[in-house]
Amino acid sequence: MNIRSVAPVAIFCLSYILASHASDSQRLLVKIDASEAEQVLAILSKRKHAQSVTDDDWRVLFDTEPYRRLQAREAAMHRPFTDEGFKKFVLSDELTAAYDQLRQTVDAWKKADLNASARRVLQYLPAEAVIHVKVFPEIKPQHNSFVFDTDTDPAIFLYVDSKVPREQFENTVAHEMHHIGLSSTDALYAKKIAVLPASVQKASEWMGAFGEGLAVLAAAGGPDIPPNQYSRPDVQQNWERGVGRFNQDLATLNEFFLEVLDGRLQGPAADQKAYTFFGEIQGPWYTVGYKMATLVERRYGRPALIQCMLDRRLLLERYNSAAEELNASNTDQLALWSAKVLAQ
């Protein structure tokens, strides 16, 4: 790639403004559907008040879209998931005992202004991007949250956790909405790198993983807003440790890209190593991506950062240019990407 000049930024800024005439309502379609959680709570309420749970109660639950989509997702992941197994989960004494906390959490989450979150995230996406998504708060056995079916009918599944306040729920959904919006432009990036040699294409694909850091920034709403202000203490501590290891982690990722480019890591082996950088909570794809993104936005402006989302390789180059300027006048030196990594 090797686009050292930032002169195209000014041109992009103007074209971005002109292309952004489409209203937010045309680019946003966000719906929260808590019907699965509500029906589980209805059953738990019956249990709590010693009332009988009927076949109709279960039919209503199993007919909700969030439940049907969850069942389809688990099948796609080759995980066992049956109506009978879910009944056992709902009828457990542990879940019944958690009714009050779950009720309060679902009520709080339903008050979240997800359209406001989506509009905030949209300010960190190319003009071509759209966010069309359904948000499913789910009371379910697995304590995980995820995005599913992004190509045809994007959905965000959020495990109902009574320890998660509404603000953190909104931030998590915003983070995932940025992924969905950015994925709507994936075809443009895929076309750019499709002609590259296999090793270069693989490295370029994984440069897109810095989208985790971009999503952290977008969900926060700006580089001066603490990105994990509503997170659990362990998540905040993990983030601070990761940011403190920025130079070390950038060097590690630089070596990873070199191994891929040199053919020392290929195919599934390259993917396997790349996945380790997601971390158990928020690994280098998050922290390194975030710090690069904030530096680029502060130095060149948000439109220049958004331009990097259409060609994910450009983020590394813009970061290097900004970091070299800072290194020239600061004692504390920022790590830089090697010339070979930038030359792709």
Q: Give the CA distances from residue 313 to residues 86, 252, 276, 292, in Å, rounded to whole numbers and listed in that order.
A: 44, 17, 20, 12
Please indicate, yes or no, whether residues 170 and 198 belong to a single structural domain of this protein: no
Same domain, 213 and 78: no
Distance, CA of 145 to CA of 157 (rounded, Å):
5
Query: Total domain count for the chain?
Result: 2
**Are both 231 and 276 inside the same structural domain?**
yes
Model pLDDT for residues 185-194, shown as the tens digit of each residue: 999 999 999 9
User: Do residue 250 and residue 336 come from a single domain?
Assistant: yes
Residues 26-66 have pLDDT tens digits of 899 999 999 999 999 999 999 999 999 999 999 999 999 99
Q: Identify whether residues 29 and 178 lie together within a single domain.
A: yes
Domain limit, last residue, from 133, 165, 183 = 183
Is residue 68's pLDDT more than 50?
A: yes
pTM above 0.85, yes or no: yes
Domain termination site, one of 183, 218, 243: 183
- Asked whether residue 15 carries a pLDDT value surpassing 70, the answer given is no
Residues 71 and 30 in one domain: yes
Pair (94, 114) in one structural domain: yes
The DSSP result for 256-284, as a single string, is HHHHHHTTSS-HHHHHHHHHHTTTTTT-H
Q: 338 and 213, same structural domain?
A: yes
How confident is the model over 90-144, as pLDDT tens digits? 999 999 999 999 999 999 999 999 999 999 999 999 999 999 999 999 999 999 9
Q: Do 196 and 314 share a structural domain?
A: yes
Domain assignment of residue 13, yes or no: no
- Considering the domain boundaries, does residue 214 fall inside one? yes
CA distance 213 to 283: 10
Last residue of a domain, one of 150, 183, 216: 183
Q: pLDDT tens for residues 324-333?
A: 999 999 999 9
Same domain assignment for residues 83 and 154: yes
167 and 218 in a single domain? The answer is no
